[in-house]
A and B are shown apart, each in its own frame.
Chain A
Amino acid sequence: MIAIKTEHLCKHYGNVKAVNDLCLNIEEGEIFTLLGANGAGKSTTINMLTTLQKPTSGNAAIFGKDLSRDYIEIRQLVALMPQGFAIDAFLSVIDNLKFFALLEYLNITAWSRKADEILTELDLSEKKNANIMTLSGGQLRRMQLARCFLSDRPLVVFDEPTLGVDVIGKFKIWDIIKKYAREKNWTVILCTNDMAEAESLADRIAFFQSGTLIKIGTPDQLKNQVAGRLIKVTFEQPPAESLTNIGDYPISHDNGSIVIRVDDTSADLRPLLDKLSELGVITEVNVEKPSLVDVFRAAKGDNL
């Protein structure tokens, strides 16, 4: 079942097209990732889908509700973890959660039990009564997660959920998001510019550039679209930077090594290897499948 359907959604600020002609479907229970550089239009997209910004043109349906008409109902379907912390600095951890529970008209006894469970799961039970100012960046992010988990809404939107969090903290947050999303069959929109985060969490990824959706698919589909293999060759003496191709193969330079994209995986590589060996003594050869970074660069038109 389709949870979200956008039709030619646009957001323009004067001449700047923050989001341009966005058409996509997101399935119920799917973790859908919006990936792109800063200013690519990801946050504007989620702001429109969560009713916080009005589209300039186009429309969307969220669980069958019309974005332009039923925005009050849509707000009851969405839990948002915004990029900023959106936490009251004058309240403790538990009081912030209680405030949210009161906003949601939750039963306080049931809420209290649920809050304790969630805080334990997020390793925040010891910080329950702590002043917000004493929490680390990772703890603040986990507190925001706790708020999302309390709301129990079918669409959960995470805007850069691990921004400023260390690697270990990121793993923890990714695991928790994945666990809750699967258990509760949430439809998740994840907005990030972290390729590893997208790869770890996403069922499907949409690449954005300058407000436009440039590629969409599962991580494997996207990687397969960047055909072939990447061969990284390291020489004892790095070849001249002016070298742009070897035979018919265009190359790029990477810290003294050269990277060659071979689109046809069945091609005979002996002529290429012969040409490479003429460049000098080869000390290392790596053959890699394209990563999401390569997919993004290819979609942008960068030479790999």
Chain B
Amino acid sequence: MKAIIWREIKVTFNSVFGAIMQFAIPVFMILLFATSLSGNFGKMTVPGMEINYIEFFAPGLFGYMTFFLFTISFSFLSIDSRTGMLTIIALSKASLRSYFWGKYVFQLALTFIKILLIMLITMLLVGSIPDFSFANAILFIITLLLSVAIWFSLGMLGGIYIQREDLRQVVFALVTLPLTFTSSMYYGIERMPTIIRWIAMCNPLTYICNLFRGCYLNVLPADYLLQLSILFVITAVSLTAALWSLRKVKF
């Protein structure tokens, strides 16, 4: 696993541009996108209080940062498969499981740093510090671990079974946009049309954003344990499927 983490760090931060690339999207989304929308949307209502849209959107962006791992792990596995790096890893003393966990740990750490950065910018923009209780902080970390595991595993599964580049692009188009728009990332699902609300309730990103938002704003939904349980189940299924599917990797 050490080798994989070392490679991830080297490849990601090999140059200043690499580091900029990693943090450009979250910074622009909170600085430009959320700030612009906050002017249009005004205040958002969450149970018990009215908040600025930036504060509402920031936890959604945490969820999006984990969701982003779907495309990242999907693409990197496809690339490593095509370039033969997976063959080299499979025949080494490390294994494909080390590859999986090494990448997971690195992406988890990187996502955590991105989330901290978003939090910092949000605090600077809004001028207030989130009121994290210890319990909420723990729940926040659990949500982070689960959501990274879900999207990372699903991306790996895609990379293992979908080799064709054109098909990969189709999957990205059919998954990324619909899932973000049918979740609570940008807005609450209560005001969505009924059918889209039903879709949103089948979307793990909804629960991820709800839990992040609940922890961050200290307004956990009444059914947060149910939402957390749903995430646990999805994590267990996707992780098991991805780890089992590693033996199906084509060299």
Q: Give the interface of A toward B (CB within 8 A).
A: 47, 50-53, 75-76, 78-80, 82, 84-91, 95, 98-100, 102-105, 147
Contacts and interface: CB of A to CB of B under 8 A. Distances in A.
Given A86-B84, A89-B83, A95-B10, A103 B251 contact: no
B89 to A, nearest CB: 6
28 contacts: A51-B91, A52-B90, A52-B91, A52-B251, A75-B90, A75-B91, A76-B93, A78-B91, A80-B87, A82-B84, A85-B83, A86-B88, A88-B7, A89-B83, A90-B10, A90-B11, A90-B14, A95-B10, A99-B10, A100-B88, A102-B2, A102-B3, A102-B94, A103-B88, A103-B92, A104-B92, A105-B93, A147-B88
Given A82-B88, A88-B11, 18 more contacts: A51-B91, A53-B251, A75-B90, A78-B91, A87-B85, A88-B85, A90-B11, A91-B14, A95-B10, A98-B6, A99-B3, A99-B10, A100-B92, A102-B2, A103-B93, A103-B94, A104-B93, A105-B94
A223 B179 CA distance: 66
Interface string B69-104: 000000000000001110111111110000000000
Interface in B113-132: none
A86 B85 contact: yes
A100 B94 CA distance: 10
A103 B84 contact: no
B115 to A, nearest CB: 25
B88 A91 contact: no
A75 B3 CA distance: 18
A53 B7 CA distance: 26
A84 B84 CA distance: 7
The prevalent SS among residues of B at the interface is helix
A152 to B, nearest CB: 12
B201 to A, nearest CB: 40
Closest 8 CB pairs of A and B: A86-B84, A102-B3, A103-B92, A52-B251, A84-B84, A90-B11, A103-B3, A103-B94
B90 A99 contact: no
Q: A interface, by DSSP: helix, strand, loop or mixed?
A: loop
B246 to A, nearest CB: 13
A106 to B, nearest CB: 9
A282 B14 CA distance: 68
A50 B92 CA distance: 12
Nearest to B98: A103
A149 B7 CA distance: 21
Contacts of A89: 83
A80 B92 contact: no
A94 to B, nearest CB: 11
Contacts of A100: 88, 92
Nearest to A79: B91
B125 to A, nearest CB: 34
A85 B84 contact: yes
A103 B89 contact: yes
Given A76-B93, A104-B92, A52 B2 contact: no
